[in-house]
Amino acid sequence: MNIDLERQAQNRTVAYWLLLCCGLVFIMVVLGGFTRLTGSGLSMVNWQPLMGILPPMGDAEWQRVFEMYQQSPEFQKVNYSFGVDEFKGIFWLEYLHRLLGRLIGIVFFVPFVYFFARGYIQRNEWAKYLLMFILGGMQGLLGWYMVKSGLVDVPRVSQYRLTAHLVAAFTIYAYMFWVAMSLLFPHSGNAGKHPWYGKTLALATLISVTIISGGFVAGLRAGKIYNTFPMMGDYWFPPGLMALEPYWRNFFDNMATVQFDHRWLATTTFVLIVVFWFRARKADLPARARTAVNALLHTAVLQFALGITTLLLAVPVVLGAAHQGVAMLLFTVALYLVHALRRI
């Protein structure tokens, strides 16, 4: 086989493996949404990254784990009426969430060793893959750091730590996705940026900021108030928007302000995506970028409609998790479009 063709085949194999890992991270994010929305995230009050693979086996073990949960503020202040059977109902989602995290580590690490040993991953490239693995391990630590914030006094995780956990997941996902795209769509040495690259990158950045603001909405459960749209109750600007001191705390700690910011960031993002699509139809874009522009519009319409519906219905579990998942799809399409225009 021609050496160049063999290298292309190897790169495709590595790219498909990375995309598989991206798919697992996507499932992890959606499952994390279900875990949070069902109140399951604080059911496991200890962390055993290596030995905690097996769930409780037998009544005695379930009773032991339940007694540990009984010492938590969530049981004492919220779920004090729970017995072992009710505890099992919230335990399994968090257990699956942690188990999937371990599975992602295995699915990443074992093929990485194989690809490196077989020469699919060049010696001058192994560091970027090792960084992915390290970031994944740090994400596990960050997840436990987040959970610990809800095991002290208040039975709710810190919105700062929850948002950091979400951003870290998106960062790892974006890194793997970008490397995969670079393997599938290599560019020549004299390739340059498309004229639309800058505005596309700015739009992708706005999408990212909107997603980050959504993390604070989730952390504060701010979607449970002002379940009307476009007005917030009877107000365009609800009372108490800047009630906290110092003023900057309102953007992170004030439920009304956090929801206000997210809904108008989302609206602005949606409008700009529609404008972007109308203008891009007349632009000289590469074929794969033109397809991505259409996908960006379709995903944005779905996400905006889903966000409004989720708000009006006071964040039902399925819609809330779907809203988080489609946000990641929108982010993916924007990232793909940025990559398509970075080198042409």
Are residues 270 and 334 in contact, defined by beta-carbon separation less than 8 angstroms? Answer: no
CA-nearest of 122, 89, 299 to 211 is 299
- Crossing angle of helices 317-342 and 197-220, in 10° steps, is 160
Q: Where are the domains of the chain?
A: 1-186, 190-344
pTM exceeding the 0.85 threshold for the entire prediction: yes
pLDDT tens sequence for the chain (344 residues)? 566 788 889 999 999 999 999 999 999 999 999 999 998 988 888 877 665 678 888 889 999 999 999 999 999 999 999 999 999 999 999 999 999 999 999 999 999 999 999 999 988 888 999 999 999 999 989 998 999 898 888 888 999 999 999 999 999 999 999 999 999 998 766 778 889 999 999 999 999 999 999 999 999 999 999 999 999 999 999 999 999 999 999 999 999 999 999 999 999 999 999 999 999 999 999 999 999 999 999 999 999 999 999 999 999 999 999 999 999 999 999 999 999 999 87
Amino acid 253: pLDDT: 96
Backbone angles phi, psi at 311, to 5 degrees: -65, -50
